[in-house]
Structure 1
Amino acid sequence: MSDNKESSHFVCSLCDFSAPYDYFGNKPPFAKAIILMEKAFVIKDPFSPESKHLTIGGFCSVCDKPVCVGQNCSVFYTKRFCMTCTKDNIKEFPAEIQQELKKRPTTSTKD
């Protein structure tokens, strides 16, 4: 598993998006009414005066690599999946999700 969980800086394994995060888990202490459906990297929303949050990434449920929530890097369907594992297992997703994924633009990611 990645060392990312112990640091305070998130780095996407696909696109190299990098950002400090305020919390990793599913119950951000600064957004008490929120329980996330996954353990995720979360920041306090800098554009909101209230206690709101932004999810910036999580770990792929298949390969366990850290991935951002960008549409070219991951998809959340009951669990987080990186786009590499999604493409490798596309037939395992419902037809509606397969169609939606086919509409996404494809961009190159880092090697």
Structure 2
Amino acid sequence: MMADDDKKPKEEVEQLVYDFKCSSCAMEEKAHYKGKNPPFSRNLSLKYPSYVMKDPFSPPGKGEILVLGSDCSVCGISICINKECSFFYLKMYCIPCALNLNETFPIEVKSKLLQIKK
């Protein structure tokens, strides 16, 4: 038998709302979850901890999501997934941190990063 106290934390996690704001472009949105495994999405595991919202355009209960962004793996600021704000290579980076680490990336990645810089 499950006590009422055992149910509360899961309900609270699902109802928790984050105020996501991109530090680069200032895009603001409400996120319903932060992490790799949104509890309201079916068997989905993201590659990196992300701010996620339930897709407002899909029918209720379908488990569709929109990934808003993440925190930079170096400096920790919140960044959206816009290519002008963030860069992904094994981890999520804000553009300034990615440019600072440019020499540590493989040549193919460096060329993509230099295209973004222009």
Larger Rg: 2
SS at 1:63's partner residue?
Answer: coil
Partner of 1:100: 112
Question: CA RMSD, aligned part only?
Answer: 1.7
Identity of aligned residues (%): 35
Q: Deviations over 1:32-53 (max 9, x none)?
A: 2101111110011223333111
Gapped regions of structure 1 (runs ≥ 5): 1-5, 107-111
TM-score (norm 1): 0.82
- RCO greater where, 1 or 2, for CA within 8 Å and sep 6 or more? 1
Alignment of 1:1-80 (within 5 A): 8-49=18-59, 50-80=62-92
Task: Read off the aligned partner of 1:57 and give its amino acid letter.
Answer: G
Gapped regions of structure 2 (runs ≥ 5): 1-15
Task: Read off the aligned partner of 1:28 and give its amino acid letter.
Answer: P
- What is the total number of aligned residue pairs between the two structures? 101
Q: Which has the higher helix share?
A: 2
TM-score (norm 2): 0.78
